[in-house]
């Protein structure tokens, strides 16, 4: 038995030495150390040995098993280390290779225009005020001198959620809410940017959703000349110092008197061209003195307080400033269009 054990040891160690992968090692383990392996068979035959020989052969068998197991374990560690090294070599990343550039986006042109207008009016002492886009009929219409059934509501046909809730048609409700917060005391000096909604047919100059910026100033002794001075400063800042403005009589239910403001055409310098339709002027926004009814509904004494309000569309400002001919370009997400204005 001693000779048989030594023979098995040499066979097993030889196979371990020549094994080229982990699977081959496991086969050697099962073949020589498994329950049905030759070493186990030798141990089963120890009953035929004398009492003196049994411990000697048993100790030798255990030594052989342990030596084979250690050899397999060491070989497996070597094979796994070699496999890992090969994997690392095959999957090596050349860190000196420049990475693929990631295309970066930019700020939307409308965002730039809105923030430019905000900065301009903040510099004049106005605060930015915001309100809900889902608005009540009261704040959207009634608080602005547009009672139920008023024909001027037809100009602002909107998306109604219920009879009393709708998507706001202008940011004027924010003005009404701002005045209420001041509880009938001045001054109130806010600009109100945001999205507005009207049931309109989309074309080159109309959209069912667009942005608006409205301004409001309420205090004692506010005059029409104050409004003109603010609008004149706005026009020169946005369109150039050479721009002139004119105010034309108009109608808005929430202001009295009401005006439309035009700026001199920058394409022809006021001489008349296709852009200004030969008039030399381009309409830019609406404005007026806050109607006494609007002041009274917000809790102000219209005999003591006066104010002015104005409203403009950032899309129109951007279209005039950058020569854009279709309002839909702002919303179709065409990067060829948007990329032109990343640095605007």
Sequence ranges of the binding site for Mg(2+): 256
Q: What angle do CA 238, 242, 244 make, to 5 degrees?
A: 80
Binding residues: 256
Strand partners for 95: none
Report the SS3 class of residue 332: coil
Tokens 């186990």 belong to residue: 40
Query: Where does the chain have alpha helices with state H?
Result: 2-18, 22-33, 38-44, 53-90, 109-122, 137-140, 172-181, 224-239, 292-297, 314-322, 335-338
* CA distance to 23, 62, 171, per residue, from 250 (Å): 91, 109, 19
Q: For residue 295, which of 284, 304, 286, 287 has the smallest C-alpha distance?
A: 304
Strand partners for 160: 166
**β-pairing verdict for 127-128 and 188-197:** parallel
Q: How many CB atoms lie within 10 A of CB 57?
A: 18
Q: For residue 124, which of 201, 21, 234 has the smallest C-alpha distance?
A: 234
Cα R_g (the chain), whole angstroms: 43
The answer to whether the beta carbons of residues 173 and 298 sit under 8 Å apart is no
Burial class (CB in 10 A: 0-12, 13-18, 19+), 283: middle
The answer to whether the beta carbons of residues 121 and 215 sit under 8 Å apart is yes
Alpha-carbon span 298 to 177, nearest angstrom = 8
Alpha-carbon span 317 to 284, nearest angstrom = 7
Alpha-carbon span 120 to 196, nearest angstrom = 22
């Amino acid at each position: 038995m001693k000779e048989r054990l030594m023979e098995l040891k040499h066979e097993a160690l030889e196979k371990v030495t020549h094994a080229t992968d982990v699977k081959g090692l496991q086969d050697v383990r099962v073949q020589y150390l498994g329950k049905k392996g030759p070493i186990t068979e030798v141990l089963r035959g120890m009953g035929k040995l004398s009492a003196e020989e049994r411990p000697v052969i048993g100790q030798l068998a255990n030594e052989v098993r342990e030596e084979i197991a250690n050899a397999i374990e060491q070989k497996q560690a070597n094979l796994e280390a070699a496999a890992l090294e090969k994997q690392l070599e095959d999957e090596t990343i050349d860190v000196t290779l420049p990475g693929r550039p990631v295309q970066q986006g930019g700020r939307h042109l409308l965002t730039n225009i809105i923030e430019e207008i905000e900065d301009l009016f903040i510099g004049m002492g106005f605060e930015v005020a915001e309100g809900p886009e889902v608005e009540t009929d009261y704040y959207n219409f009634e608080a602005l001198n547009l009672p139920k059934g008023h024909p001027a509501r037809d100009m602002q046909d909107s998306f109604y959620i219920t009879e009393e809730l709708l998507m706001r048609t202008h940011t004027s409700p924010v003005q009404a809410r701002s005045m209420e917060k001041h509880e009938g005391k001045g001054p109130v000096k806010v600009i109100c940017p945001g999205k507005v909604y009207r049931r309109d047919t989309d074309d080159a100059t109309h959209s069912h959703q667009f942005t608006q910026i409205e301004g409001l100033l309420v205090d004692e002794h506010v005059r029409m000349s104050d409004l003109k001075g603010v609008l004149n400063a706005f026009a020169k800042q946005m369109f150039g110092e050479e721009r002139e403005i004119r105010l034309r009589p108009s109608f808005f239910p929430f202001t009295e008197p009401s005006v439309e403001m035009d700026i001199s055409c920058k394409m022809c310098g006021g001489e008349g061209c296709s852009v200004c339709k030969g008039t030399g002027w381009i309409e830019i926004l609406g404005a007026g003195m806050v109607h006494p009814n609007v002041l009274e509904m917000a809790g102000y004494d219209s005999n003591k307080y006066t104010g002015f309000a104005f409203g403009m569309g950032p899309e129109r400002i951007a279209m005039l400033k950058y020569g854009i001919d279709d309002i839909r370009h702002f919303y179709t997400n065409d990067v060829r269009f948007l990329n032109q204005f990343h640095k605007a």
